[in-house]
Every structure is written in structure tokens, then in C-alpha cells.
Amino acid sequence: MIKAAIVGATGYTGVELIRILLNHPDVEITSLTRKGESISNISEAFPHMYNQLALPCNTLKNPEQVAEKADVIFMALPHCSGLDLTDQFLKLGKIVIDLSADFRLKDADVYEKWYKTKHTHPELLKEAVYGLPEIYKTDIAKAKLIANPGCYPTGAILALKPLTSGKLVKINSIIIDSKSGASGAGRSLSLKNLFPEVNENITPYNINTHRHLPEMIQELTGHKAKTAQITFTPHLIPVTRGILSTTYVSIQENGTAANVIDMYKDFYKDSPFIRILPEGIAPQTKHVYGSNYCDIGIFQNKEAHQIIIISAIDNLVKGASGQAVQNMNIVCGLEETAGLNLIPVFP
């Protein structure tokens, strides 16, 4: 059995990790920690966990004690708050899967520009592997530090990577329009996430200034690409889970939706969680709710010589905790789908 510790277990991604790992045939959760006060049982924070897991969630005071009981450590802390801890766990010989943005960007200067804080362990950026299994599976299998992708980048990169990998698109033509549920902002209190603010409202925000944008640039266009090459507009919508990304690209050659669909099916033929939908069918967030799937639909605007690619993911599963478990499966030599055969919840 793989022994797993979760650091930051009382956030949305932390509790989603618990839900998934409790149903994993090859994993035992050995430690839950948080930055707040200790609680005697995780069900005190999450009553839906009653009689599911009899573990306390302790204040993290001694990293060595956590490491002693774990093979893999999931870091589910906010951005910029787990850098030193990750370094300590790596020095103790543990595999670390980090769900924050702290190790996703390869350039420390870019990180410091977008996250407004100094990166205290830039030496680890070369060691970290970007944890998008559909693209970097071979590298993930050998990694000690895995940087779990952001939720918006997961949906957008999976939608666009087959075209950008083949250099079939004009990079400066890429437009990404994404809608996210409120859980993507985490559990911290915030005026913009209060029910009266979110309900019956759609709010665009951080237009082309969102901190996930450099991730998309890095993975779609190269590390040194200019920000202006991609247009990204995120929106907050009144749902709990889900991200729907509608991406628009001008292609270099005249291609039909049917041809692009065939290309995507071939590109993702070894990716069990990518579902390429039949021509004319558009993804919906409800069809991936609670699952690790990414559904992709492809359309064509002939007059504009444009291909429209739409992706749908659950932001807390494929966009965070499910993808982290998928990465754990790969790095630990387990079946990639272990513990993740989650049929979407409907309705």
C-alpha cells in the first residue's frame, strides 16, 4: 500500500483528495495536517466524512513526523505558503505532489512577477515536472516533485495542445474564454464569492491578467513567449463546480472539424481521461461533474478559417485533486486510472 499524507487537508482540494483516496485500492491515508488549530477528527470540519475516516487533522509542527508515515505527500496549501515545507519533504526523500502554483513556472522571475512574492527555492524549478499526464507521463514517472497544473490551464491546454504541438495554429490568434464555478476560489471568505454576489450573476475578472495565464503561455507557446500572444478571459458563474473553456484559433491550413477530431483522437489515444466527443456535440460541465474526465468538442467556422475547441472539466477533480492522484498513480507505478474510475454525477 502507498502511504499518503495530505498537507492542507481542510481546503476544497484537500477534502477532495480524501474523498478520492478513500476509494483507492492501493493507498492508505496516514496523515492529515492543516495550518489552523488541530481537530480530533476530520469529520468535525467535514460532517460528510463521518464514519469514513477516523483521523485527526493536526497543526503541522513537525515535518519529520509527517514524512515518517508517508511515501507520497500532497501539498494542498495556498500559493506561496508551502515552499519551505516542500524543500524539507524532498530532502527527507519523499515524493511531493504540489497543488499550488509554486513549482509550475520554470522561470522564478515570471513566478515573482505574477505571484508578487520571492521564490525562496528557485533551484527546485528545474527539478519539478509539470503534472499534466496526457503530455508529460514519461517525465512524471521519474519525478520526485510534481507541479500539479492549475484548473484553468488544465482545460485550456488539453483543448489546444494537439494543435500547438503540430504548429498548426497562429499562436497570436488564440483566444481562451473560460467559465468557472465558485469552488475554484477556495474556502477563504471573500466578498466576491458570497452567495448574493455570485447568484444570478456572471462576472468576468482579471482579463488577460489572471495568474494562470503564464502557465498557458509556457505550455502552449514556449517558456519565453510574450503574454500578448494569448488572450484569456476567465468568468465566475453561479455554479459550485466545473470549468468550461471555449477556445478559438486560426489554423495554418484549411482543416475540417472531422479532420481535427481524428487528429485529437490519435493524439490522446493513450489518455484514458480524455473524451473526444462526436462532431456536432458540445461538452457540458454537468457531464464531467465529480469525475476526472476532460470532455472535448470541436467545431469549425469555415468563413473565418477558425477552429473552435470546447473543453469541460470538474475543477476540483481533473483540475486539481483527481489529476494529483493520477500523477501519484504514474509516479508510483500503479494503474493510471486506479481510484479514479468515477462516473460523473448526474443530474
Query: Which of 93, 60, 91, 95 has its CA nearest to residue 324?
Result: 95
Identify whether 332 is a catalytic site residue.
Answer: no
Residue 209 phi, psi dihedral angles, 5° rounding: -130, 10
Q: For residues 47, 53, 57 and 63, what is the CA-based torsion angle, rounded to 10 degrees?
A: -150
Angle at 13 between CA 76 and CA 127, to 5 degrees: 40
Catalytic residue among 57, 80, 151, 332: 151
CB of 248 within 8 A of CB of 311? Answer: no
CB of 41 within 8 A of CB of 47? Answer: no
Q: How would you list the strands of the sheet with 174-180, edge to edge?
A: 203-204, 230-236, 174-180, 243-250, 306-313, 294-301, 274-276
CB of 2 within 8 A of CB of 328? Answer: yes
Which helix (H) or strand (E) element contains residue 173? none
Greatest Cα pair distance, the chain, in angstroms, is 62
Pairing of strands 230-236, 129-130: unpaired
Measured on CA atoms in the order 312, 316, 317, 318, is the torsion positive or negative? Answer: positive
**In 141-272, which residue ranges form alpha helices assigned H by DSSP?**
151-165, 195-198, 213-221, 257-267
Measured on CA atoms in the order 315, 316, 320, 326, is the torsion positive or negative? Answer: negative
Instruction: Report the interhelical angle of 133-140 vs 322-331 (nearest 10°).
Output: 30
For residue 312, what are the β-bridge partners? 244, 295
Active site residues: 151
